[in-house]
Chain A
Amino acid sequence: MTELQTADGPSPAETTTPLVELRNIRVAFGGIHAVDDVSVDLYPGEVVGLVGGNGAGKSTLMHTLSGAHPADSGEIRINGQPVVIHKPRDARHYGVEVIYQRLALADNIDAAGNVFLGREKLTRTGALDDSAMASDTAKVIRRLNPHFKNLKTPVRSLSGGQRQSVAIARAVYFNAKILIMDEPTAALGPAETEQVRDLIKQLKSEGIGIFLISHDIHDVFDLADRISVMMTGRLVGTVDKLDVTKDEVLAMIIAGKPPDEISAEDIAELH
């Protein structure tokens, strides 16, 4: 696997410009700091796992990058350039695509309609070019999921894995450079989870940077190169996967201590 080789050599941090730099991001809801002064990076072809308990601020942090909820303060850089992201459209302009936990599909519309939702192909008269969209969708989805057939039915009637394929096809079709995956396997069975894992590895090998939000520490250890731990809106720390054990990361999540402060007792308490 390529990610293992790069991790052995110099970290990508020293070799290239980060794809994404989130600097000192803050988001407050009322008086509560949902995200408090958090900074994380993402490099091309890298998967950064974002972990933490409920309300840790993982999703809110990613919303500042996806345009779902702008940051109150802080800076976002993409390929080293400062950018302003207020709306989902802004994020897409910079190649940021999101795959949401609840998939964010319109259940009553077919696969092509969902893949192109908000970015429809139009004919010369400005009407929807459904045939062109169906044709392109067929091509991209078949690459992700060869068994996919029901292109014309509303996605309501599809299985979890097929729905996930539609959501990922949407990101892939529009040349995502940066992918945010919010619990991509939460709603899936074991076989479908495996499919999504393979897909993540494939996207990664194509140079796409992926933020992977997950509750599942095994998922994260399997897929991520680096892991950022959050707790109550703060960044506890970012660690290289190869430098830590699962227990150490769990201790970071639960005790909220940076890796060098984790003691044997903290780990002992986990068991």
Chain B
Amino acid sequence: MTTVETPRDASAVISTTPQPGRSWRSLVSSTEIDTRLAGLIIALAAIWITFNILSGGDFLTARNLWNLSVQSTSIAVMATGMVLIIVSRNIDLSVGSLLGFIGYAMALVQTDGIFSFFGLNVHSSGLQDKTYIWILALAFGLALGAIVGAGQGFIVAYVGVPSFIVTLGGFLVWRGAIFRMGDKQGQTLAPLDSTFQLLGGGAKGSLGDTRSWLLAVVACAGIVLSIVLARRRRQRYELGVRPMWAEVGLGVLGCAAVILGIGLVANRYTSPVTNKATGVAYPVVILIGVTLVMTYLARRRRFGRYVYAYGGNPEAAELGGINTRRTVMLTFVLMGVLCAVSAAIQTARLNAAVTNLGVQNELDVIAAAVIGGTSFAGGIGTIPGAVLGAIVMQSLRSGMVLLKIDSPSQDIVVGVVLVTAVAIDSTLRQGRKRMALAALVVGLVISVIIIQSGRA
């Protein structure tokens, strides 16, 4: 009875996209652009232009944008994981402490050898060859993140303790554990392995101009290829496709963004140390990789589908035969691994591990995810949105630093923007456009007052 004949005539094919040209609205929807993401990009552009004007042209410089890109990476990497945690109706308050813990552990592997982590006093005796110590440290950190994440995830998913409580515990435990690691009692660990340092960006930690252009070529090819393949696949199944102009437009826009980003920012910024064009910094390359992998996991794999299904309706996911406990636990494993990635970036950038590494990062990470459109009601949120959210937050901070606004005032503005962003998002979701506009105006006015009165 379910063997349905393939529709032969074209009229039997369901068009999933409306015909273009009817109205502005159908024109926009025919491109299938995520309007929330587009709104975020527009907001980011507005912030950049405003700060550029206020700072007298200091914001939109290659140097500032290059630094901005590097400074955003650590929070952005973790925010991609936080999206999946929040989408599946949980929270992770431990990420800042976990980052500090893993960062310290990775530094300890480099300064004292891996055995010192376990309290054994075999000071690097077995590790004469220092060439691969950075790989060992990184692998150890990633494994540690996965194990801690699995532990916290197990308690949340299988034991049934609310994630708020489990990770609040983790918040205290992992920060405290830094002081109990090895025999260091929390003293600063430095310097780190010279190859490891490259992960943080810095003077030598970037691709250089030739390889950056190579990256641009690969990225553009990837964009075009993915558009073509998606179109082919949909045509094969006789599903509606985007109008040609929208496909071409998206491809051109995507490639233009890549070329402009690399040509006008990454390769335009000359390193003060080497006096050469820096190119794309390694942490930014890492962030791009993490974003691609996480987006693939979230949108194209079963795991991601189950995370969103569970967030949308836990009961439906359960009744659909999904192993929801395993799914939830895996989100925490991923979060732990991403904490390790960020820990590597931060310690490498600092060329040291300190006990307060990552303090308050949990709040920045959650804020980035939420500004990026992730909803605490569950089931809603995107990886690229969270990355943009992190860039928005870092842009605000960088811009205010340029305007010489003190750190407490910066906190006020970021807090106001956070609440405003969510207010606009949730009111628009309910179709309350006037209330959204009111939220935008109030948020802007408060931010402007704080910024103007805080300028030194």
**Residues in chain A within 8 A of chain B (CB atoms):** 66, 68, 87-89, 92, 98, 100, 102-109, 113-114, 117-120, 122, 126-128, 130-132, 134-135, 138-140, 142-143, 149, 151-152, 172-175, 206
Residues of B within 8 A of A66 (CB): 319
CB <8 Å contact, B316 and A117: yes
Residue of A103, A113, A118 with most partner-chain B CB within 10 A: A118
Interface CB pairs A-B, < 8 A, 11: A88-B318, A88-B321, A105-B316, A106-B312, A106-B379, A117-B322, A127-B301, A128-B299, A134-B239, A152-B17, A172-B2
Task: Check: B238 CB closer than 8 A to any chain A CB.
Answer: yes
Given contacts A92-B321, A131-B237, A132-B237, A122 and B312 within 8 Å (CB-CB) = no
Bound state CA distance, A174 and B14, in angstroms?
21
CB <8 Å contact, A174 and B2: yes
Given A126-B301, A142-B12, 10 extra CB contacts under 8 A: A88-B321, A106-B312, A108-B311, A109-B308, A113-B305, A119-B321, A120-B302, A128-B300, A138-B14, A172-B2
Given contacts A68-B319, A143-B4, A107 and B237 within 8 Å (CB-CB) = no
Bound state CA distance, A115 and B300, in angstroms?
16
Task: Check: B7 CB closer than 8 A to any chain A CB.
Answer: yes
CB <8 Å contact, A135 and B322: no
Which of B32, B238, B318, B320 sits near A135, CB closer than 8 Å?
B238
Name A89's closest neighbour in chain B (CB-CB): B321
Scan residues 270-300 of chain B and give those whose CB is less than 8 A from a CB of chain A.
Answer: 296, 299-300
CB <8 Å contact, B14 and A142: yes
Which of A105, A122, A128, A142 sits near B313, CB closer than 8 Å?
A105
Bound state CA distance, A140 and B5, in angstroms?
10
Bound state CA distance, A59 and B237, in angstroms?
39
Bound state CA distance, A105 and B16, in angstroms?
20
Given contacts A106-B313, A131-B234, A100 and B319 within 8 Å (CB-CB) = yes
Residues of B within 8 A of A89 (CB): 321
CB <8 Å contact, A139 and B4: yes
Name A107's closest neighbour in chain B (CB-CB): B312
Residues of B within 8 A of A120 (CB): 302, 305
CB <8 Å contact, B305 and A109: yes
Task: Check: B380 CB closer than 8 A to any chain A CB.
Answer: yes
Task: Check: B218 CB closer than 8 A to any chain A CB.
Answer: no
CB <8 Å contact, B305 and A107: no
Given contacts A88-B320, A140-B2, A135 and B237 within 8 Å (CB-CB) = yes
A139 CB to closest chain B CB, in angstroms? 4
Residues of B within 8 A of A113 (CB): 305, 309
Q: Which 4 pairs, one residue from A and one from B, show the smallest C-beta to C-beta distance?
A: A118-B320, A108-B312, A135-B237, A108-B379
Residues of A within 8 A of B237 (CB): 131-132, 134-135
Given contacts A87-B321, A118-B320, A172-B2, A151 and B312 within 8 Å (CB-CB) = no
CB <8 Å contact, B380 and A108: yes
Task: Check: B10 CB closer than 8 A to any chain A CB.
Answer: no
B90 CB to closest chain A CB, in angstroms? 16
Which of A98, A128, A152 sits near B305, CB closer than 8 Å?
A128
Task: Check: B1 CB closer than 8 A to any chain A CB.
Answer: yes
Bound state CA distance, A126 and B300, in angstroms?
9
Residues of B within 8 A of A109 (CB): 305, 308-309, 312
Bound state CA distance, A142 and B12, in angstroms?
9
Residues of A within 8 A of B313 (CB): 104-107
CB <8 Å contact, A98 and B379: no
CB <8 Å contact, B1 and A206: yes
Which of A119, A127, A140, A175 sits near B4, CB closer than 8 Å?
A140
Residues of B within 8 A of A114 (CB): 316
CB <8 Å contact, B320 and A122: no
Task: Check: B315 CB closer than 8 A to any chain A CB.
Answer: yes
Residues of B within 8 A of A130 (CB): 300
Residues of A within 8 A of B301 (CB): 126-128
Given contacts A128-B300, A128-B301, A104 and B380 within 8 Å (CB-CB) = no
Residues of A within 8 A of B299 (CB): 128
Bound state CA distance, A113 and B319, in angstroms?
14
Task: Check: B36 CB closer than 8 A to any chain A CB.
Answer: no
Name A139's closest neighbour in chain B (CB-CB): B4
A149 CB to closest chain B CB, in angstroms? 7
Task: Check: B8 CB closer than 8 A to any chain A CB.
Answer: no
Name B3's closest neighbour in chain A (CB-CB): A175
CB <8 Å contact, A173 and B14: no
Task: Check: B180 CB closer than 8 A to any chain A CB.
Answer: no
Contact with A along B217-235 (1 / 0, CB 8 A): 0000000000000000110
Residues of B within 8 A of A127 (CB): 296, 300-301
Contact with A along B374-416 (1 / 0, CB 8 A): 0000011000000000000000000000000000000000000
Bound state CA distance, A134 and B236, in angstroms?
12
Contact with A along B327-363 (1 / 0, CB 8 A): 0000000000000000000000000000000000000
